[in-house]
Structure 1
Amino acid sequence: MIANNHVQVWDQFVRVFHWSLLPLFFVAYITGDDKGPLHRYAGYAVLGLVIARVCWGFLGSKHARFNDFVCSPAKALAYIKNLSTGKSVHFMGHNPAAAWMIILFLANSIVICLSGYAAYATKAEKPSFGFINTSLIVGNAYADDDKHDARKTGKHAKEKEARKDGHSEKDDDDGDSVWSDIHESSAQLMLILIFLHVIGVAVSSKMHNENLVKAMFTGKKSIHQK
Protein backbone atom coordinates (compact mmCIF):
# COMPACT_ATOMS: atom_id res chain seq x y z
CA MET A 1 0.00 0.00 0.00
CA ILE A 2 1.50 3.31 -1.15
CA ALA A 3 0.22 6.72 -0.05
CA ASN A 4 1.92 10.11 -0.08
CA ASN A 5 5.23 8.55 -1.23
CA HIS A 6 5.19 6.16 1.73
CA VAL A 7 4.72 2.42 1.82
CA GLN A 8 3.40 0.35 4.71
CA VAL A 9 6.21 -1.94 5.84
CA TRP A 10 5.71 -2.94 9.48
CA ASP A 11 2.34 -4.30 10.54
CA GLN A 12 0.80 -3.50 13.90
CA PHE A 13 1.91 -6.72 15.56
CA VAL A 14 5.57 -6.17 14.66
CA ARG A 15 5.44 -2.63 16.04
CA VAL A 16 3.72 -3.68 19.28
CA PHE A 17 6.18 -6.54 19.71
CA HIS A 18 9.18 -4.26 19.16
CA TRP A 19 8.10 -1.59 21.64
CA SER A 20 6.83 -4.09 24.23
CA LEU A 21 9.86 -6.38 24.35
CA LEU A 22 12.29 -3.63 25.31
CA PRO A 23 10.52 -2.32 28.45
CA LEU A 24 9.64 -5.86 29.58
CA PHE A 25 13.27 -6.91 29.33
CA PHE A 26 14.44 -3.92 31.37
CA VAL A 27 11.74 -4.52 34.00
CA ALA A 28 12.98 -8.11 34.30
CA TYR A 29 16.60 -6.95 34.34
CA ILE A 30 16.28 -4.35 37.09
CA THR A 31 14.15 -6.68 39.27
CA GLY A 32 16.54 -9.62 38.91
CA ASP A 33 17.73 -9.40 42.53
CA ASP A 34 14.28 -8.87 44.03
CA LYS A 35 12.47 -11.64 45.89
CA GLY A 36 9.04 -10.67 44.56
CA PRO A 37 7.20 -12.19 41.59
CA LEU A 38 7.57 -9.22 39.21
CA HIS A 39 10.82 -10.56 37.73
CA ARG A 40 9.23 -13.93 36.95
CA TYR A 41 6.08 -12.45 35.46
CA ALA A 42 8.05 -10.07 33.26
CA GLY A 43 10.01 -13.11 32.07
CA TYR A 44 6.80 -15.01 31.31
CA ALA A 45 5.55 -12.01 29.33
CA VAL A 46 8.81 -11.85 27.34
CA LEU A 47 8.61 -15.56 26.55
CA GLY A 48 4.99 -15.20 25.46
CA LEU A 49 5.88 -12.30 23.17
CA VAL A 50 8.79 -14.18 21.63
CA ILE A 51 6.69 -17.28 20.97
CA ALA A 52 4.03 -15.09 19.33
CA ARG A 53 6.71 -13.38 17.20
CA VAL A 54 8.09 -16.72 16.05
CA CYS A 55 4.60 -17.77 14.99
CA TRP A 56 4.09 -14.41 13.27
CA GLY A 57 7.33 -15.03 11.40
CA PHE A 58 5.48 -17.73 9.48
CA LEU A 59 1.94 -16.33 9.44
CA GLY A 60 2.39 -12.56 9.41
CA SER A 61 2.55 -9.90 6.72
CA LYS A 62 5.22 -9.88 4.00
CA HIS A 63 8.05 -8.07 5.78
CA ALA A 64 7.30 -9.78 9.10
CA ARG A 65 7.93 -13.27 7.74
CA PHE A 66 11.28 -14.97 8.19
CA ASN A 67 11.47 -15.90 4.52
CA ASP A 68 11.51 -12.19 3.69
CA PHE A 69 14.65 -11.31 5.64
CA VAL A 70 16.52 -14.34 7.02
CA CYS A 71 19.82 -14.72 5.17
CA SER A 72 23.27 -16.26 5.45
CA PRO A 73 25.88 -14.83 7.84
CA ALA A 74 28.06 -14.06 4.81
CA LYS A 75 25.37 -11.79 3.37
CA ALA A 76 25.04 -9.96 6.69
CA LEU A 77 28.81 -9.45 6.92
CA ALA A 78 28.91 -8.22 3.32
CA TYR A 79 26.15 -5.72 4.10
CA ILE A 80 28.04 -4.39 7.13
CA LYS A 81 31.24 -4.10 5.09
CA ASN A 82 29.45 -2.20 2.32
CA LEU A 83 27.69 -0.02 4.89
CA SER A 84 31.04 1.06 6.30
CA THR A 85 32.13 2.16 2.83
CA GLY A 86 28.87 3.92 2.00
CA LYS A 87 27.91 1.46 -0.74
CA SER A 88 25.25 -0.63 0.98
CA VAL A 89 22.05 -1.62 -0.80
CA HIS A 90 18.81 -0.34 0.70
CA PHE A 91 16.20 -2.86 1.86
CA MET A 92 12.57 -1.92 2.30
CA GLY A 93 12.20 -4.53 5.05
CA HIS A 94 14.89 -5.73 7.44
CA ASN A 95 18.42 -5.48 6.06
CA PRO A 96 20.72 -8.55 6.45
CA ALA A 97 22.41 -7.19 9.57
CA ALA A 98 19.06 -6.42 11.20
CA ALA A 99 17.83 -9.87 10.20
CA TRP A 100 20.58 -11.55 12.20
CA MET A 101 20.02 -9.17 15.08
CA ILE A 102 16.39 -10.31 15.19
CA ILE A 103 17.44 -13.96 15.20
CA LEU A 104 19.88 -13.30 18.04
CA PHE A 105 17.26 -11.33 19.99
CA LEU A 106 14.70 -14.13 19.70
CA ALA A 107 17.14 -16.95 20.44
CA ASN A 108 18.76 -15.18 23.38
CA SER A 109 15.38 -14.20 24.82
CA ILE A 110 14.37 -17.86 24.83
CA VAL A 111 17.64 -18.83 26.55
CA ILE A 112 17.12 -16.12 29.18
CA CYS A 113 13.56 -17.18 29.94
CA LEU A 114 14.12 -20.93 29.99
CA SER A 115 17.33 -20.74 32.03
CA GLY A 116 15.66 -18.40 34.50
CA TYR A 117 12.71 -20.74 34.84
CA ALA A 118 15.05 -23.72 35.30
CA ALA A 119 16.98 -21.89 38.02
CA TYR A 120 13.75 -20.98 39.79
CA ALA A 121 12.38 -24.51 39.45
CA THR A 122 15.53 -25.95 41.01
CA LYS A 123 15.15 -23.68 44.02
CA ALA A 124 11.37 -23.73 44.46
CA GLU A 125 10.80 -27.46 43.84
CA LYS A 126 7.23 -26.54 42.83
CA PRO A 127 7.81 -24.39 39.76
CA SER A 128 4.25 -24.16 38.48
CA PHE A 129 4.69 -20.61 37.24
CA GLY A 130 5.77 -19.43 40.67
CA PHE A 131 2.74 -20.57 42.63
CA ILE A 132 3.48 -22.69 45.70
CA ASN A 133 0.84 -24.43 47.78
CA THR A 134 0.76 -22.19 50.86
CA SER A 135 -1.57 -24.56 52.72
CA LEU A 136 1.24 -27.10 52.86
CA ILE A 137 3.57 -24.48 54.33
CA VAL A 138 1.04 -23.53 57.01
CA GLY A 139 0.34 -27.16 57.77
CA ASN A 140 4.01 -27.92 58.23
CA ALA A 141 4.48 -24.91 60.47
CA TYR A 142 1.84 -26.09 62.93
CA ALA A 143 2.54 -29.83 62.87
CA ASP A 144 3.05 -31.52 66.25
CA ASP A 145 6.36 -32.86 67.48
CA ASP A 146 5.60 -36.44 66.48
CA LYS A 147 5.01 -35.42 62.89
CA HIS A 148 8.13 -33.30 63.05
CA ASP A 149 10.15 -36.29 64.20
CA ALA A 150 8.58 -38.43 61.51
CA ARG A 151 9.46 -35.90 58.87
CA LYS A 152 12.97 -35.69 60.26
CA THR A 153 13.33 -39.46 60.11
CA GLY A 154 11.86 -39.49 56.62
CA LYS A 155 14.26 -36.74 55.60
CA HIS A 156 17.24 -38.75 56.79
CA ALA A 157 15.93 -41.78 54.93
CA LYS A 158 15.51 -39.76 51.75
CA GLU A 159 18.99 -38.29 52.11
CA LYS A 160 20.41 -41.75 52.58
CA GLU A 161 18.52 -43.00 49.55
CA ALA A 162 19.64 -39.97 47.57
CA ARG A 163 23.27 -40.69 48.41
CA LYS A 164 22.77 -44.20 47.15
CA ASP A 165 21.47 -42.88 43.89
CA GLY A 166 24.38 -40.46 43.62
CA HIS A 167 22.10 -37.44 44.07
CA SER A 168 22.17 -34.94 46.92
CA GLU A 169 21.01 -31.48 47.87
CA LYS A 170 24.42 -30.22 46.76
CA ASP A 171 23.59 -31.47 43.26
CA ASP A 172 20.48 -29.26 43.26
CA ASP A 173 22.57 -26.29 44.37
CA ASP A 174 25.08 -26.97 41.60
CA GLY A 175 22.29 -27.26 39.06
CA ASP A 176 20.81 -24.00 40.25
CA SER A 177 24.22 -22.33 39.97
CA VAL A 178 24.67 -23.52 36.39
CA TRP A 179 21.23 -22.30 35.31
CA SER A 180 21.69 -19.03 37.17
CA ASP A 181 25.04 -18.45 35.47
CA ILE A 182 23.50 -19.10 32.05
CA HIS A 183 20.58 -16.82 32.92
CA GLU A 184 22.81 -13.94 34.01
CA SER A 185 25.26 -14.32 31.12
CA SER A 186 22.50 -14.31 28.52
CA ALA A 187 20.96 -11.23 30.17
CA GLN A 188 24.29 -9.41 29.87
CA LEU A 189 24.54 -10.54 26.25
CA MET A 190 21.11 -9.02 25.62
CA LEU A 191 22.38 -5.64 26.82
CA ILE A 192 25.23 -5.87 24.31
CA LEU A 193 22.81 -6.80 21.53
CA ILE A 194 20.57 -3.86 22.38
CA PHE A 195 23.57 -1.51 22.31
CA LEU A 196 24.65 -2.85 18.89
CA HIS A 197 21.08 -2.61 17.64
CA VAL A 198 20.84 1.08 18.59
CA ILE A 199 24.14 1.80 16.82
CA GLY A 200 23.00 -0.12 13.76
CA VAL A 201 19.71 1.78 13.59
CA ALA A 202 21.52 5.13 13.87
CA VAL A 203 24.08 4.29 11.19
CA SER A 204 21.56 2.77 8.79
CA SER A 205 19.18 5.72 9.23
CA LYS A 206 21.96 8.15 8.35
CA MET A 207 23.33 6.16 5.40
CA HIS A 208 19.92 5.62 3.82
CA ASN A 209 18.47 8.99 4.76
CA GLU A 210 15.53 7.52 6.64
CA ASN A 211 14.13 7.60 10.16
CA LEU A 212 13.93 3.97 11.24
CA VAL A 213 12.71 4.84 14.73
CA LYS A 214 9.76 6.76 13.31
CA ALA A 215 9.11 3.98 10.83
CA MET A 216 8.81 1.47 13.67
CA PHE A 217 6.14 3.71 15.22
CA THR A 218 4.16 4.46 12.06
CA GLY A 219 4.95 1.28 10.16
CA LYS A 220 5.72 3.30 7.05
CA LYS A 221 8.87 4.07 5.06
CA SER A 222 9.47 6.60 2.33
CA ILE A 223 9.80 5.07 -1.12
CA HIS A 224 12.32 7.75 -2.08
CA GLN A 225 15.61 6.58 -0.63
CA LYS A 226 19.11 7.96 -0.99
Structure 2
Amino acid sequence: MSTVASRRVWDPLVRVFHWSLVACVLLNLLVVDDGEDLHQWLGYAAAALVGVRVVWGFIGPRHARFADFFPTPRRVVHHVRALLGGASEHHWGHNPLGALMVFALLAMVLMLGLTGWMQTLDLFWGEEWLQDLHEGLGEWLLPMVGLHAAATIVMGRIERTRLVKAMVTGVKERY
Protein backbone atom coordinates (compact mmCIF):
# COMPACT_ATOMS: atom_id res chain seq x y z
CA MET A 1 0.00 0.00 0.00
CA SER A 2 1.55 3.32 -1.02
CA THR A 3 1.41 6.44 1.09
CA VAL A 4 0.86 9.91 -0.28
CA ALA A 5 3.89 12.14 0.36
CA SER A 6 2.27 15.40 -0.71
CA ARG A 7 -1.06 16.86 -1.70
CA ARG A 8 -2.28 20.20 -3.03
CA VAL A 9 -4.26 21.56 -0.11
CA TRP A 10 -4.37 25.35 0.02
CA ASP A 11 -5.82 27.05 -3.04
CA PRO A 12 -4.55 30.44 -4.24
CA LEU A 13 -7.37 32.42 -2.62
CA VAL A 14 -6.65 30.90 0.81
CA ARG A 15 -2.94 31.63 0.47
CA VAL A 16 -3.42 35.20 -0.80
CA PHE A 17 -5.95 35.79 1.98
CA HIS A 18 -3.55 34.46 4.63
CA TRP A 19 -0.51 36.49 3.60
CA SER A 20 -2.59 39.62 2.92
CA LEU A 21 -4.07 39.38 6.41
CA VAL A 22 -0.57 38.91 7.83
CA ALA A 23 0.50 42.08 5.99
CA CYS A 24 -2.50 44.04 7.31
CA VAL A 25 -1.80 43.00 10.90
CA LEU A 26 1.95 43.70 10.69
CA LEU A 27 1.46 47.06 8.99
CA ASN A 28 -1.16 48.02 11.54
CA LEU A 29 1.35 47.33 14.31
CA LEU A 30 3.58 49.95 12.75
CA VAL A 31 0.93 52.62 12.20
CA VAL A 32 -1.27 52.32 15.29
CA ASP A 33 -2.24 55.92 15.97
CA ASP A 34 -5.67 57.04 17.10
CA GLY A 35 -7.70 57.99 14.05
CA GLU A 36 -4.88 57.57 11.55
CA ASP A 37 -6.27 56.96 8.07
CA LEU A 38 -3.82 54.17 7.19
CA HIS A 39 -4.70 52.31 10.39
CA GLN A 40 -8.39 52.54 9.56
CA TRP A 41 -7.99 51.45 5.96
CA LEU A 42 -5.79 48.51 6.94
CA GLY A 43 -8.44 47.52 9.46
CA TYR A 44 -11.17 47.73 6.84
CA ALA A 45 -9.02 45.74 4.42
CA ALA A 46 -8.45 43.05 7.06
CA ALA A 47 -12.18 42.84 7.83
CA ALA A 48 -12.99 42.65 4.10
CA LEU A 49 -10.42 39.88 3.66
CA VAL A 50 -12.09 37.94 6.47
CA GLY A 51 -15.48 38.50 4.83
CA VAL A 52 -14.18 37.02 1.58
CA ARG A 53 -12.64 34.10 3.49
CA VAL A 54 -15.91 33.39 5.26
CA VAL A 55 -17.75 33.21 1.94
CA TRP A 56 -14.94 31.01 0.54
CA GLY A 57 -15.35 28.79 3.61
CA PHE A 58 -18.74 27.78 2.22
CA ILE A 59 -18.18 27.76 -1.54
CA GLY A 60 -14.43 27.16 -1.97
CA PRO A 61 -12.62 23.91 -2.70
CA ARG A 62 -12.58 21.03 -0.23
CA HIS A 63 -9.84 22.09 2.21
CA ALA A 64 -10.99 25.74 2.16
CA ARG A 65 -14.47 24.77 3.32
CA PHE A 66 -15.25 25.06 7.00
CA ALA A 67 -17.09 21.74 6.87
CA ASP A 68 -13.76 20.06 6.04
CA PHE A 69 -12.15 21.12 9.31
CA PHE A 70 -14.94 22.25 11.63
CA PRO A 71 -13.69 21.61 15.19
CA THR A 72 -16.47 19.66 16.86
CA PRO A 73 -15.93 18.89 20.55
CA ARG A 74 -15.49 15.21 19.67
CA ARG A 75 -12.80 15.97 17.05
CA VAL A 76 -10.96 18.31 19.43
CA VAL A 77 -10.98 15.82 22.32
CA HIS A 78 -9.87 12.98 20.04
CA HIS A 79 -7.05 15.12 18.63
CA VAL A 80 -5.84 16.29 22.05
CA ARG A 81 -5.91 12.73 23.42
CA ALA A 82 -3.90 11.52 20.43
CA LEU A 83 -1.34 14.29 20.94
CA LEU A 84 -1.04 13.62 24.65
CA GLY A 85 -0.72 9.90 23.94
CA GLY A 86 2.14 10.53 21.54
CA ALA A 87 0.21 9.30 18.51
CA SER A 88 0.00 12.29 16.22
CA GLU A 89 -2.77 12.24 13.67
CA HIS A 90 -2.22 13.55 10.19
CA HIS A 91 -4.73 15.99 8.72
CA TRP A 92 -4.39 17.17 5.15
CA GLY A 93 -6.39 20.28 6.05
CA HIS A 94 -6.42 21.96 9.46
CA ASN A 95 -6.26 19.77 12.54
CA PRO A 96 -8.98 20.46 15.15
CA LEU A 97 -6.81 22.73 17.30
CA GLY A 98 -5.66 24.62 14.22
CA ALA A 99 -9.29 24.98 13.20
CA LEU A 100 -10.13 26.49 16.60
CA MET A 101 -7.34 29.01 16.08
CA VAL A 102 -8.56 29.82 12.56
CA PHE A 103 -12.04 30.61 13.84
CA ALA A 104 -10.69 32.57 16.82
CA LEU A 105 -8.45 34.69 14.59
CA LEU A 106 -11.22 35.31 12.06
CA ALA A 107 -13.58 36.35 14.86
CA MET A 108 -10.96 38.59 16.45
CA VAL A 109 -10.24 40.43 13.20
CA LEU A 110 -13.96 40.90 12.57
CA MET A 111 -14.48 42.23 16.11
CA LEU A 112 -11.56 44.62 15.66
CA GLY A 113 -13.01 45.83 12.38
CA LEU A 114 -16.45 46.26 13.91
CA THR A 115 -15.27 48.12 17.01
CA GLY A 116 -12.99 50.30 14.89
CA TRP A 117 -15.82 51.17 12.51
CA MET A 118 -18.22 51.82 15.40
CA GLN A 119 -15.85 54.51 16.68
CA THR A 120 -16.48 56.49 13.47
CA LEU A 121 -20.24 56.61 14.07
CA ASP A 122 -21.88 59.59 15.75
CA LEU A 123 -23.66 57.19 18.11
CA PHE A 124 -20.36 55.97 19.60
CA TRP A 125 -18.08 58.97 18.92
CA GLY A 126 -15.67 59.43 21.83
CA GLU A 127 -17.01 56.48 23.83
CA GLU A 128 -14.09 55.43 26.01
CA TRP A 129 -15.41 51.92 26.63
CA LEU A 130 -15.44 51.25 22.90
CA GLN A 131 -11.93 52.61 22.44
CA ASP A 132 -10.76 50.46 25.36
CA LEU A 133 -12.47 47.40 23.90
CA HIS A 134 -10.89 48.00 20.49
CA GLU A 135 -7.43 48.45 22.01
CA GLY A 136 -7.90 45.40 24.25
CA LEU A 137 -8.89 43.25 21.29
CA GLY A 138 -5.80 44.49 19.45
CA GLU A 139 -3.65 43.56 22.41
CA TRP A 140 -5.15 40.05 22.45
CA LEU A 141 -4.63 39.61 18.72
CA LEU A 142 -0.85 39.74 19.02
CA PRO A 143 -0.43 36.82 21.44
CA MET A 144 -2.97 34.86 19.40
CA VAL A 145 -0.91 35.45 16.25
CA GLY A 146 2.24 34.45 18.15
CA LEU A 147 0.59 31.27 19.39
CA HIS A 148 -0.62 30.52 15.87
CA ALA A 149 2.89 30.93 14.44
CA ALA A 150 4.51 28.87 17.21
CA ALA A 151 1.89 26.13 16.93
CA THR A 152 2.43 25.99 13.18
CA ILE A 153 6.11 25.27 13.71
CA VAL A 154 5.57 22.80 16.57
CA MET A 155 2.71 20.93 14.89
CA GLY A 156 4.66 20.80 11.65
CA ARG A 157 7.40 18.94 13.50
CA ILE A 158 4.98 16.67 15.38
CA GLU A 159 2.94 15.83 12.27
CA ARG A 160 6.07 15.80 10.09
CA THR A 161 4.65 18.27 7.58
CA ARG A 162 6.00 21.48 6.14
CA LEU A 163 3.13 23.77 7.15
CA VAL A 164 4.71 27.15 6.41
CA LYS A 165 5.87 25.97 2.99
CA ALA A 166 2.36 24.66 2.31
CA MET A 167 0.91 28.13 2.96
CA VAL A 168 3.29 29.49 0.32
CA THR A 169 3.09 26.75 -2.33
CA GLY A 170 -0.32 25.26 -1.57
CA VAL A 171 1.18 21.77 -1.36
CA LYS A 172 1.32 20.05 2.02
CA GLU A 173 4.26 17.64 2.21
CA ARG A 174 4.86 14.87 4.68
CA TYR A 175 8.41 13.88 5.49
TM-score relative to the length of structure 2: 0.89
Identity of aligned residues (%): 36
Aligned in 2, Cα 1:219/1:88: closer, same or farther, shift over 3 Å?
A: same
- Equivalent residue, structure 2, for 1:129: none
Would you say 1:183 and 2:134 are equivalent positions? Answer: yes
Give the Cα–Cα distance (whole angstroms) in 2 for the partners of residues 100 and 60 of structure 1.
Answer: 19
The RMSD of aligned alpha carbons is 2.1
AA aligned to 2:87 is K
TM-score relative to the length of structure 1: 0.70
Would you say 1:46 and 2:46 are equivalent positions? Answer: yes
User: Which segments of 5 or more consecutive residues in structure 2 lack a partner in the other structure?
Assistant: none
Give the Cα–Cα distance (whole angstroms) in 2 for the partners of residues 194 and 66 of structure 1.
Answer: 20
- Equivalent residue, structure 1, for 2:9: 9
Give the Cα–Cα distance (whole angstroms) in 2 for the partners of residues 187 and 100 of structure 1.
Answer: 19
Give the Cα–Cα distance (whole angstroms) in 2 for the partners of residues 172 and 211 of structure 1.
Answer: 46
Task: Give the C-alpha shift of residue 202 in structure 1.
Answer: 1.2
Give the Cα–Cα distance (whole angstroms) in 1 for the partners of residues 106 and 15 of structure 2.
Answer: 15
Task: Give the C-alpha shift of residue 74 in structure 1.
Answer: 4.8
SS at match of 1:7: strand
Counting matched residue pairs gives 172
Give the Cα–Cα distance (whole angstroms) in 1 for the partners of residues 125 and 33 of structure 2.
Answer: 20
8 Å Cα contact 1:119-1:177 kept in structure 2: no
- Equivalent residue, structure 1, for 2:156: 205
Give the Cα–Cα distance (whole angstroms) in 2 for the partners of residues 69 and 12 of structure 1.
Answer: 18
Larger Rg: 1
Task: Give the C-alpha shift of residue 186 in structure 1.
Answer: 1.0
8 Å Cα contact 1:28-1:43 kept in structure 2: yes
Give the Cα–Cα distance (whole angstroms) in 2 for the partners of residues 216 and 72 of structure 1.
Answer: 24
Aligned in 2, Cα 1:172/1:205: closer, same or farther, shift over 3 Å?
A: closer
- Equivalent residue, structure 2, for 1:112: 112
Task: Give the C-alpha shift of residue 90 in structure 1.
Answer: 0.8
